């Protein structure tokens, strides 16, 4: 027998079906000026505030494709996973890189993060 939805005091329906729930915190998007050759370290925090395991899948792309440190692809309820992102700054100029995080949260299935940064010559 499946759980039945219930009503709030305002008359809206609240589902009592167990599900994962993703909450994201992005460290920042505009990385500003960085020296040529530097490695930029950024983070995305994903917390499962739901009642069932949350499945994660992340992909990177852009001019200088970021790299992701290995992460758990299933986050238990109440736990947090840190997605550590590294971007290498090799060529001078303004660049964009992106990270997409996909989850099985029915309300918050995708997070797209666009990072922008300008690589300057050392000492400039």
Give residue-wise pLDDT tens across range 82-121: 999 999 888 899 999 899 999 999 998 999 999 999 999 8
- What pTM value is reported for the model? 0.78
Res 8: pLDDT: 46
Give pLDDT tens digits for 4-61.
444 444 555 555 688 999 999 998 889 999 999 999 999 999 999 999 999 999 998 7
Query: Assign residue 62 a region: left if phi > 0, alpha if psi is -120 to 50, beta otherwise?
Result: left
Closest to 113 measured CA to CA, from 50, 53, 45, 48: 45
Res 18: pLDDT: 87
């Amino acid at each position: 027998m499946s759980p039945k939805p219930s009503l709030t005091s305002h008359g809206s329906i609240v589902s009592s079906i167990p599900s994962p729930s993703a909450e994201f915190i992005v460290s920042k998007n505009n990385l500003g000026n960085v020296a040529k050759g530097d490695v930029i370290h950024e983070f995305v925090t994903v917390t499962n505030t739901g009642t069932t395991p949350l499945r994660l899948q992340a992909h990177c792309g852009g001019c200088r494709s970021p790299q992701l440190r290995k992460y758990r692809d299933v986050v238990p309820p109440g736990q947090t996973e840190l997605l550590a992102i590294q971007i290498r700054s090799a060529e001078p100029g303004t660049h964009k890189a992106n990270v997409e995080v996909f989850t099985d949260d029915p309300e918050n299935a995708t997070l797209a993060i666009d990072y922008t940064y300008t690589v300057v010559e050392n000492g400039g």
